[in-house]
Structures are given as structure tokens and as C-alpha cells.
């Protein structure tokens, strides 16, 4: 679809869209990327993000409004419910301010509120303020289907080891082991987290649109299952365009980051390495590995005799021994944060050891990089199952029946993914999914068409079904 101005639409008919995400990097990034896609198709876009975010690229077509989620002085947040209630209060207040600002400065209101699915109050809020509402799921359809069953009471938590999952999971979800379910369903990390995740579906049936950051060809069976419940639209992968269809000029990063990447050092180091010789290791923005895990990963990487680039946040660096840092200096680079997409796209990177967060998973799939999976919590355990057994683009570092990982596990996984016939199979499968991801976001692709249809339904409400 060409931009509306090229189609002769009047300036006043441009869709005016307001977006808000949960204040985590894994939620901000795909929402920001969706905002850029909407803007590229002629929409006026405003996105509300945490005040502490660092703007790392220019995008003058998107209005960014900052909101602070800091707790009031003396306020004690003890539960997930308290935490989410604070977000609701701060976010809803900010939304009202932004809507009033929009009316006073432009003389017109927003048309649509797009909100993170973990802010379920957004449906009623938007409708009460005269907006149509779109729910944006930043998690895969498989996770959403499982959590929907939790919300409906079909799945009772905690799910005990040995439970026959076929008694409540549809055939479209190929999971037979309890530890392949989302982590909190069998070992709730924080009291209230299961309810919070299930609450995504409180008002979803009242939404005007339901978006998923996934693409056809990746989760077709479960997409069809969810489509039997609601009219859903796949609009992903929400990855910067220059790593996919290349239609958005200079779109090389998400544009907002809670961390400052050490990009120049990473790329310069990779430039000096041979093709497919580097293991990239990152466990995301939230994971906190215990000391034993850090030790085993460190020495397992060193014993693999492969080059490695390891992202270790400043808060975690004290867990690395001086002996390891000294002995790994010739083959390893340890950084606080890095431009992950540029790293995954680099010819020197042959594999990715990951926690299996959905953004990281989509990025690896979109760039055709085989993975070693070491999930920590939330949706990561299920994403790992799909990577290893459904998409067959990675290997599992630790078996289900093992309590902890060993350096031998790490070394074996690295060798499996970096060498021999196993690597060939994983790389072939990864490249096939890369092509599907590019096709989905290219002009006329499934996700691109869904975004076009969304824009069209805003401009011409009578076309909406």
C-alpha cells in the first residue's frame, strides 16, 4: 500500500494512532517498530514510553511522549497487583494528558488506542474516551493460547509434574512435557504473576483489533486455533526493516532503548573474526543468573575453544572470576549491552546462546541464526520448545530431568551448533524461516497486508468487519 498522501487522501484523513506498551524493553521494542510501520503508511503516530528510555535513532514522523512509572515517595510495592496498579494509574493519567494535548494543539482526537495486552484496562479506557482499540500481544500465539486456557480455568495452576497435558491442550499446541509450558504455570516466580498473564484476556473480546507479533508460516496451526475465537491479525516480525524487507530507509534499530549499546567495540571485534566462528551469548535485559550458572557458562564457553561475544550487564559482572576474564581475553569479548541485530546479522556470528525471550527469538529466526536455548522463566520455556522441536533451529542446553547446567553441557551445545551435520540441519531450517519472515513483511506479504487493512479500516470504518 502506498502512503495515503500519494493516494490523494486529504491530510485530515490520516489515521491518528496512540500507542502504549508495558515499560520493559521486550515490550517497548516491538511496539516502537509497529509504530514505524504505521507511520510509513501515512498514519500520525504517538507512542508513550518510559521517561528513562534513550533515543538512539531519529524518527521525526513519530511523536514520543514520556511517562514516569516511579513510585511515589514512601510508597511500598509488595505484590504484582500493586506494581500493575501503579502502572495503570500512571499510564492512564498520561494517556488523558496526551489526548487533551492532542485536541488543544491539533483540533482533533486520536482515532485508535493500541495498547500492550498486559494492560487489559486499555480496552475499556479507550472506548470510554471515544477511541477504537487494538490489543497488541508481544508474545507468540502459542503462549497466548495456553494463557487463554489458564484464564478460562481449563488449566489449573500449578500444573504438577507428570500431568497428562493432552487432557487440556488442543492438538494445535505440540507440548507434552510440563516444563515446556510457560514457567510460571508450574513454578510461579512471583505470587500473582499467573493471574496477571491470564488477565490479558479479560476484555480482549471487546477489542476492535487483536494484533500478534508473529508471522504466518511460523505458528500457522495455533494462529488458526486462536482465529476460531477472535479475529486476529499477525503483524510481525516487528524487527527493523533493514534486516527484513529493507523498505524503511535507515531503519536499523528500534529507536528506543533502556540500555546504551557498545556497538562500535562489538562490530570492530567481530570484523576481525572468521565467518561463522563466533558464539553470541545474551540472556536479555531481565535475567539474573546465579553464581553457579555464570561459572558453568563461562568455563563451558572457554572449553569449547570457540570465539564468543557475551553480553553481561554491569549488575552481573561481579559474578565473573578474574581467572576466567584473564584466560578468555584472546577469544572472548564481554560487553554490558550490544546492538543485537547488527551482531546477529554479522557474518562472523555462527550461533546464538539465548534465554529465548520472544524478541530475541524472532530476531534470530529473522536473521537465520541457529540457537542454543537456555530459558529462564515466563514464556521462554515454551519458546525454547518450539525452537528445538517444532522449528528445529536450535538445541537444548539442559535436559528437563537435570537440575542445573554444567560446563560440559555448554561445551557440547556449542560444538553441536557450530560444527558438523547438526549445524547443517539447524542452519538450513533457520534460513527457511528467515525467508518466511522477510516475505511476511515485504509488500503484499501476510503481515504487511494486515497492517494495510488496519489502516484502511480506520480511514473507512464501514469496511471493518
Catalytic residue numbers? 27, 116
| CA separation for the pair 276, 280 (Å, rounded) | 10
| CA separation for the pair 268, 404 (Å, rounded) | 35
CB 365 within 8 A of CB 244: no
Phi, psi dihedral angles at 42 (to 5 degrees): 100, 0
| CA separation for the pair 39, 156 (Å, rounded) | 42
Burial of 316 (C-beta count, 10 Å sphere; 0-12/13-18/19+): middle
Q: β-pairing, 256-257 with 278-282?
A: unpaired
CB 327 within 8 A of CB 305: no
CB 45 within 8 A of CB 73: no
Give the N- to C-terminal CA distance of the chain in Å, as an integer: 20
What single-letter DSSP state applies at residue 182? -
Burial 250-260 (b: 16+ CB within 10 A, else e): ebbbbbbbbbe
Nearest to 114 by CA among 428, 425, 458: 458
Burial of 264 (C-beta count, 10 Å sphere; 0-12/13-18/19+): exposed
The number of helices, as runs of H, and strands, as runs of E, in the chain is: 15, 15
CB 434 within 8 A of CB 443: no
CB 343 within 8 A of CB 252: no
What single-letter DSSP state applies at residue 380? H
CB 333 within 8 A of CB 265: yes
Amino acid at each position: 500500500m502506498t502512503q495515503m498522501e500519494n493516494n490523494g487522501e486529504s491530510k485530515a484523513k490520516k489515521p491518528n494512532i496512540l500507542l502504549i506498551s508495558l515499560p520493559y524493553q521486550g515490550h517497548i521494542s516491538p511496539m516502537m517498530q509497529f509504530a514505524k510501520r504505521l507511520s510509513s503508511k501515512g498514519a500520525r503516530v504517538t507512542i508513550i514510553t518510559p521517561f528513562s528510555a534513550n533515543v538512539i535513532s531519529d524518527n521525526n514522523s513519530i511523536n514520543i511522549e514520556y511517562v514516569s512509572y516511579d513510585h511515589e515517595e514512601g510508597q511500598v510495592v509488595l505484590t504484582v497487583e500493586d506494581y500493575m496498579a501503579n502502572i495503570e494509574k500512571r499510564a492512564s493519567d498520561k494517556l488523558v494528558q496526551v489526548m487533551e494535548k492532542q485536541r488543544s494543539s491539533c483540533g482533533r482526537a486520536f482515532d485508535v488506542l493500541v495498547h500492550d495486552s498486559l494492560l487489559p484496562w486499555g480496552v475499556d479506557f479507550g472506548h470510554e474516551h471515544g477511541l477504537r482499540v487494538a490489543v497488541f500481544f508481544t508474545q507468540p500465539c502459542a503462549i497466548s493460547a495456553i494463557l487463554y486456557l489458564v484464564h478460562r480455568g481449563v488449566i489449573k495452576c500449578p500444573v504438577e509434574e507428570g500431568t497428562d497435558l493432552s487432557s487440556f491442550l488442543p492438538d494445535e499446541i505440540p507440548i507434552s512435557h510440563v516444563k515446556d509450558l510457560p514457567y510460571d504455570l508450574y513454578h510461579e516466580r512471583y505470587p500473582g504473576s499467573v493471574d496477571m498473564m491470564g488477565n490479558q484476556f479479560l476484555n480482549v473480546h471487546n477489542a476492535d483489533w487483536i494484533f500478534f507479533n508473529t508471522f504466518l508460516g511460523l505458528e500457522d496451526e495455533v494462529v488458526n486455533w486462536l482465529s476460531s475465537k477472535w479475529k486476529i491479525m499477525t503483524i510481525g516480525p516487528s524487527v527493523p526493516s533493514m534486516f527484513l524487507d529493507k523498505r524503511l530507509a535507515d531503519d536499523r534499530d528500534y529507536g528506543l532503548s533502556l540500555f546504551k549499546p557498545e556497538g562500535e567495540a562489538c562490530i570492530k571485534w567481530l570484523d576481525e573474526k572468521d565467518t561463522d566462528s563466533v558464539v553470541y551469548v545474551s540472556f536479555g535485559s531481565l535475567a539474573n543468573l546465579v553464581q553457579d550458572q555464570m561459572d558453568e557458562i563461562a568455563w563451558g564457553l572457554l572449553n569449547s575453544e570457540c570465539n564468543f561475544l557475551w553480553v553481561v550487564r554491569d549488575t552481573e559482572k561481579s559474578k565473573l572470576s578474574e581467572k576466567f576474564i584473564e584466560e578468555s581475553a584472546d577469544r572472548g569479548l564481554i560487553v554490558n549491552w550490544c546492538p543485537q541485530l547488527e551482531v546477529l546479522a554479522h557474518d562472523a556470528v555462527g550461533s546464538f546462546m539465548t534465554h529465548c525471550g520472544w524478541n530475541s527469538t524472532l530476531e534470530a529466526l529473522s536473521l537465520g541464526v541457529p540457537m542454543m536455548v537456555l530459558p529462564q522463566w515466563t514464556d521462554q520455556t515454551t519458546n525454547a520448545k518450539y525452537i528445538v522441536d517444532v522449528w528445529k533451529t536450535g538445541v537444548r542446553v539442559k535436559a528437563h530431568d537435570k537440575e542445573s547446567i554444567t560446563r560440559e553441557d555448554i561445551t557440547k551445545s556449542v560444538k553441536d551448533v557450530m560444527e558438523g551435520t547438526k549445524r547443517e540441519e539447524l542452519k538450513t531450517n533457520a534460513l527457511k524461516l528467515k525467508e518466511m519472515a522477510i516475505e511476511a513483511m515485504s509488500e503484499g506479504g501476510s503481515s504487511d497486508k494486515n497492517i494495510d487493512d488496519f489502516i484502511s479500516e480506520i480511514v473507512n470504518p464501514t469496511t471493518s468487519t
